[in-house]
Amino acid sequence: MNWAGLYTVLSGVNRHSTAIGRIWLSVIFIFRIMVLVVAAESVWGDEKSAFTCNTQQPGCNSVCYDHFFPISHIRLWALQLILVTTPALLVAMHVAYQQHQEKKLLVLTGHADAKHMEEVKKHKMRISGSLWWTYVCSVVFRLLFEAVFMYIFYMLYPGYQMVRLVKCEAYPCPNTVDCFISRPTEKTVFTVFMLVTSSICIVLNMAELVYLVVRACARRGQHNSNPSSGKGSFYGHKLSSEYKQNEINQLLTEQDGSLKDMLRRNPGLQEKGDRCSAC
């Protein structure tokens, strides 16, 4: 499991994201993960071996390095990227659950052939109902993790700048010792670069949040002014027996509302005159 594995996992989520979500994912993979792997890791590669202190006292080097760099930038960025990309998996899990429910419905209505099953897998889920809440939560968590890590960086390495020289007094260093950091300018450049891309990602997440909220309000306004409008049926099938209707009703009462959303959206799924008691 490496960054390429994460890329495969998250590419699947891409299909069910908004346009802004896709841009966010591209920025994460190209300008953050790729830059981390291809460039930043080699800059920090020799951070400990080239950390030199003006002393011959054994142990002083190690102690001072540990004092000034409790967690390396590279590890912090790796953690940040993993935590920031993981909420998208919540959405993936919810989508998989909805697809499972749709497949169950197909089996109950007697349309469990390969073609319809494939269609369930391929069609893009609409971000409405409970999926909307999951999606919004994932975006909020992303924002939270980004902000927390930016704060941690600022606390650990004030000003985001890498200094050339640090003065160390930790035991066993005799008195105050000058210690020199390797490649401080290059490290500062990459720190600022990663900071800027992190901010761009925060802005994209906020834009996505606003977009989702505005879209939900607009949809609700449309629904209130025109309650009889319904989208064309996705399946266009009919329920044929009362037994099956009861099964469906049971499914509907058990689930949280995603199926209800589906049936509300696709009135053609119900026979004329039949009532969905759980709707």
Partner 1 sequence: MDWGTLQAVLGGVNKHSTSIGKIWLTVLFIFRIMILVVAAERVWGDEQQDFVCNTLQPGCRNVCYDQFFPISHIRLWALQLIFVSTPALLVAMHVAYRRHEKKRRFRNGEKIDIEELKNEKVHIRGPLWWTYTSSIFFRMVFEAVFMYVFYYMYDGYQMPRLVKCKAWPCPNTVDCFVSRPTEKTTFTIFMLAVSGICMMLNLAELCYLVIKIFMKDSRKTT
- Chain residues that interact with partner 1, rule: CB under 8 A: 3-4, 6-7, 19, 22-23, 26, 29-31, 33-35, 37-39, 42-43, 46, 50, 52-55, 164-165, 178-186, 189-190
Nearer of residues 117 and 251 to partner 1, judged by Cβ: 117
| Smallest distance from partner 1 to CB 170, Å | 17
| Smallest distance from partner 1 to CB 82, Å | 12
- Cα separation values, 146 from 28, 90, 105, 149, 204, Å: 12, 17, 39, 5, 12
| Smallest distance from partner 1 to CB 191, Å | 12
In order, the DSSP letters of 210-225 are HHHHHHHHHHHHHHHH
Question: Strands across the sheet with 165-168, in order?
Answer: 52-53, 177-180, 165-168
Nearer of residues 20 and 248 to partner 1, judged by Cβ: 20
Q: Are 209 and 139 in contact (CB under 8 A)?
A: yes
Nearer of residues 179 and 248 to partner 1, judged by Cβ: 179
- Cα separation values, 246 from 45, 250, 276, Å: 64, 6, 9
Nearer of residues 230 and 257 to partner 1, judged by Cβ: 230
Q: How many angstroms separate the CA atoms of 236 and 257, rounded?
A: 20
| Smallest distance from partner 1 to CB 34, Å | 5
Nearer of residues 62 and 249 to partner 1, judged by Cβ: 62
| Smallest distance from partner 1 to CB 51, Å | 8
Q: Are 77 and 204 in contact (CB under 8 A)?
A: no
